[in-house]
Chains A and B, each alone.
Chain A
Amino acid sequence: MRYFVRKIAFFLATLWAAITLNFIIPRLQPGDPAEVMVQKLAGKDAQLNPAAVQAMRAMLGAPDGNLFTQYVSYLGALAHGDFGISYTYYPYPVTEVIGQALPWTLVLVGVTQILAFVIGITLGAYAAWRRNTRFDSIVTLGSTFIGTLPSFWIALLLLFVFGYTVGWFPTSGGYSASTPGFNGPFITEAVSHSFLPALSLLITAPIGWILGMRNTMVMNLGEDYIRLAKAKGLPDRVVALRYAARNALLPSVTGFAIALGGVLGGSILVEQIYDYPGMGRLMGEAIGNRDFPLLQTLLLFIIVGVLLANLVADLLYGVLDPRARRAQS
């Protein structure tokens, strides 16, 4: 039980740290942050809506008063779900803008992450079981080579080959003519539009799992309990899957959140390339338009998403591995 309490406490503490970081970052520059930012915008675009200035103040909390009162009003605004108003999509609140993009990224990153996990674990386990064979060296060396390729460059190549040259898949957007919603044409279009972005991420995403799983499982295969299992005449399949792989899986679970962060980072770049209507593209727009409320809220959403995934992975680990529970209490 103490294990779970500790993990939940860590989640809450990191959540607080992330929220506070989000409060500090805009204040790192000298001067009144709201004024500085309004000035930045005015320099670029002389006609500035006074309501947008107001929105900026809303995002940053009360500009007057000391840092502490600003912090309190910032936390209060967050508690009410008030993240400010987007400049790019004025006058829509950033939460509404992100709400439109969130499902796209959630599906893209979620599906890629799960597929990468399954593919990586399977390949890694099989490479470890057949270690020092041809299959093993192809998988290990191949992963190392592909791992050196930047994922956004892979995305450009795939777009070039399958989008333009062969023309099998659409080159940009999330859908074309259909109405978004739960209907056949839309889902078909969304899938075909998401295919190349997902493939771009999927080429590099399993590599961490493959190498990690292979190394842990090779180590486990040298343990006595494996020798015992073999000695009692258990079939290879059972020894490989139910004994070695099952145990080797555990450390992979803890790496889930870090890997998710990597895939999310990759998706920011890949979404730019495919003009995919998710949070990554939104982030690109926010950078280009200096839309700070949108940018900051996106960062907060991404961090909180990864923290939640981390919490789930940690709790799952506690359920799967009784040693983890015992060691902490």
Chain B
Amino acid sequence: MTAGIVQTGSEERPGDATDERGEGDAGYSQQRWWQLLWSNTKARVGIILLLAFILIATFAPLIAPYEGTRSDFDALLPVSGDHLLGTTSQGADIFSQLVYGSRVSLLVGLFGGLVSTAIALVIGMWSGYKEGTVIDDILSFITNVAIVVPVLPLMIVLIAYSEVRGIPLIVFVIGITSWAGHARAKRSQIITLRNRDFVTAAKFAGEGSGRIIFREIMPSMTSLVAAGFVGASTGAIGAEAGLSFLGLGDPNSISWGTMLYQADSQGAVGQGLWAWVLAPGLILALLITSLTFINFGVDLLSNPHLREDS
């Protein structure tokens, strides 16, 4: 999902503008962005891991021996050939739950990341471009408020009030609560770009603010936007796990957070059912690790100084 975002931006990137600032990858013209990303060991590991997760999620019905939501097995069966990680106390196959759980995490990561990034871009870029005006004052104030307000309690209350629980609600709530840090970063980045010659030229050509911000300036900070998106996805996946752990997840599908919620409320820890507790957390950490590694690579694209070190 990351790869797609970077690619679209890269095609639109005006080469001359990027060269001039020595930012982005065009200055190192021998290497394309994907080569740079791939040449970094961490990023490569991250991409391979993420691809594996995407494959597992896509082909979940082929990989998982049973439906993730099926729970008519005997409770607490030990690890065996039929049940690779045993069953839960409600009689669900833990391995199948794990496989199907990847779908929820990836979906929430993709769409939660997209919504959050979109809000961050609109608010951050607009406020930075209009720096010093009333619009900037208002948007900056909203951003600063959203930064200090602790997100998890706010998400909990918003979801608790809602009648319909589900993945769309989680995506929406994560999106509207966790854009602020990214927006502030975008604001300060656009401030350094807004007085460049190509922006002035666009202004003289009579282009509107919206067009200048999103068609002229934004393509030259694609890698920063991509880094923000990967970060937002990582946050969204973690937030979904936390919310599901509190029992606020989608009741009709199984996610790793929901698995841990059930394990905790059924006393799995006290009974020493290690597979049930260990597996969802490890796999969640693995997915987050893969995204963190990818972000190391994306950082290399936007910051040439890091490249020289490696």
Residues of A within 8 A of B (CB): 10, 13-14, 17-18, 21, 25-26, 28-29, 40, 144-145, 147-150, 152-153, 156-157, 159-160, 163-165, 171, 257-258, 260-262, 264-265, 268-269, 272-273, 283-284, 286-288, 290, 292, 295-296, 298-299, 302-303, 306-307, 310
> Which of A159, A268, A292 is in CB contact (< 8 Å) with B156?
A268
| B292:A144 contact, CB within 8 angstroms | yes
Query: What is the CA–CA distance of A97 and B147 in the complex, to the nearest angstrom?
Result: 28
Return the 9 tightest CB-CB contacts between A and B, nearest first. A265-B152, A261-B150, A153-B281, A148-B288, A148-B289, A299-B157, A160-B269, A302-B153, A149-B285
> What is the total of A-B residue contacts with beta carbons within 8 Å?
129
Chain A residues with Cβ below 8 Å from B288 are 148, 150
| B153:A272 contact, CB within 8 angstroms | no
Query: What is the CA–CA distance of A272 and B288 in the complex, to the nearest angstrom?
Result: 23
Per-residue contact bits, chain B 90-125, to A (CB 8 Å; 1 contact, 0 not): 000000000000000000000000000000000000
| B154 is an interface residue with CB less than 8 A from chain A | yes
| A261:B148 contact, CB within 8 angstroms | yes
Q: Of residues 218 to 267 in B, which have CB atoms within 8 Å of A's CB atoms?
A: 238, 241-242, 245-248, 260, 263-264
Distance of B171 from chain A, by nearest CB (Å): 17
| B269:A156 contact, CB within 8 angstroms | yes
- Give the bracket for the number of chain B residues in contact with chain A: 35 or more
Q: Of residues 133 to 164 in B, which have CB atoms within 8 Å of A's CB atoms?
A: 141, 144-145, 147-154, 156-158, 160-163
Chain B residues with Cβ below 8 Å from A260 are 150
Chain A residues with Cβ below 8 Å from B190 are none
Query: What is the CA–CA distance of A240 and B91 in the complex, to the nearest angstrom?
Result: 59
CB-CB under 8 A for A299 and B154, given A156-B260, A310-B148: yes
Query: What is the CA–CA distance of A131 and B166 in the complex, to the nearest angstrom?
Result: 46
| A25:B151 contact, CB within 8 angstroms | no
Per-residue contact bits, chain B 150-194, to A (CB 8 Å; 1 contact, 0 not): 111110111011110000000000000000010000000000000
Which chain B residue shows the least CB distance to A154? B281
| B148:A14 contact, CB within 8 angstroms | yes
Q: Could you write out 13 A-B pairs with CB less than 8 Å apart?
A: A13-B145, A14-B145, A149-B281, A150-B238, A160-B269, A165-B272, A265-B152, A272-B246, A287-B160, A295-B156, A295-B157, A303-B154, A306-B149
| B242:A150 contact, CB within 8 angstroms | yes
Query: What is the CA–CA distance of A148 and B296 in the complex, to the nearest angstrom?
Result: 14
| B270 is an interface residue with CB less than 8 A from chain A | yes
Chain B residues with Cβ below 8 Å from A261 are 148-152
Query: What is the CA–CA distance of A171 and B163 in the complex, to the nearest angstrom?
Result: 34
Name, among A164, A257, A269, the residue most crowded by chain B CB atoms within 10 Å (CB to CB).
A269
Which chain B residue shows the least CB distance to A159? B269
Chain B residues with Cβ below 8 Å from A286 are 160
Query: What is the CA–CA distance of A306 and B145 in the complex, to the nearest angstrom?
Result: 11
Chain B residues with Cβ below 8 Å from A171 are 270
Chain A residues with Cβ below 8 Å from B156 are 268, 283, 287, 295, 299
> Which of A17, A159, A164, A264 is in CB contact (< 8 Å) with B150?
A264
| A156:B264 contact, CB within 8 angstroms | yes
Query: What is the CA–CA distance of A265 and B149 in the complex, to the nearest angstrom?
Result: 11
Which chain B residue shows the least CB distance to A144? B292
